[in-house]
Amino acid sequence: MIYTCTLNPAIDLFIETEHLKPEIVNRTNSYDIQPNGKGVNVSFILKHLGIDNTALGIGGGFTSNFIEESLRNKGIKTDFTHIDGISRINVFTRVIDTDTEYKQVNNGPEVNKEKVNNFLEKVSKLKKDDKLVVSGSFSKGVPPNIIIEIAKMAQKQKFNLVIDTSYPDVIQTISYHPYLLKPNDEELLSWFDDEQNNNISTLIAHSKKLIEKGAKNILLSLGSKGALLINKDKVLFGNAPKIKVVNTACSGDTMLGTFLAGIEQNLSAEDNLRRSIAAASSTAASSGLTDFSDVDELIEQINIKQMEG
């Protein structure tokens, strides 16, 4: 079973407006309200592709109720740890006349130590054939080094750990052999204090260092440039198709969910990377998660090539 984990779930409010001016009422063209959080998105993508999964998380209030109900309505099992606070609401605004996107992301509620331990107790029950996907930011009170504790549990219990979070503590999980890391280029460079050298050669070199130290796979998203897949056997690069960007908030989650589904479906690494990039691009071209209706068309624009590194 694949378990996703969202330690700071959210409701996302997507707004489109012609202009955004101060001190006046800005009338919107449209709005959409969606359950969100990176692990939540991965769950939706997995289920869309026919992969059963269970969504874990920490949340509270009417917002968490909405998120969990939305998951269950799609046939996804939920096992959230509930807190007294209210899970956050984020706002993403697309402004037409300036062709800009504003992202207003809140910190989330406070989580006490007891609730953190309750969540870890659920993780302690995972077994050898399970995968756990830890994605996104953590609520206040959830220490970033929890990812190290989870990595230790993964090694001991022999489940596969997938990590998609930007905290520098991720580096300390490498010795516990995480199954997959999915940083973006900026996150990877920040882990190596090398933000000035954002080029393919440097990104591959840093990724290979993580593989040498114990990580099994790196899925590196490059935004409009595409993505890289690095492991001990190969380095693959795929370009991104040309799209009109609407909202980039969930594209990385789409890439990860699609890639994990491809592993379950025994796709080749090349075909899996190609479909994952196409799906991520489809999400970026829409206000929410892709429905995969244009993914086959986008795949035709993507070439996968083996890199020397």
- Active site positions, annotated: 253
Tokens encoding 157? 């219990």
**Hunting for tokens 């999400």 — which residue is that?**
283
Q: Please name which of 243, 53, 211, 196 lies closest in space to residue 131, comparing C-alpha atoms.
A: 53
Residue ranges of alpha helices (H) inside 21-60 are: 38-48
Strand partners, 91: 13, 104
Output the CA angle 302-216-9, nearest 5 degrees: 75
Q: Is beta strand 53-59 parallel, antiparallel or unpaired with respect to 2-6?
A: parallel
Task: Report the C-alpha gap between 137 and 75 in whole angstroms.
Answer: 25
Q: What angle do CA 106, 112, 113 make, to 5 degrees?
A: 130
Query: Rounded distance, CA 90 to CA 210, Å?
Result: 33
Closest Cα to residue 273, out of 233, 195, 218? 218
Host H or E run for residue 138: none
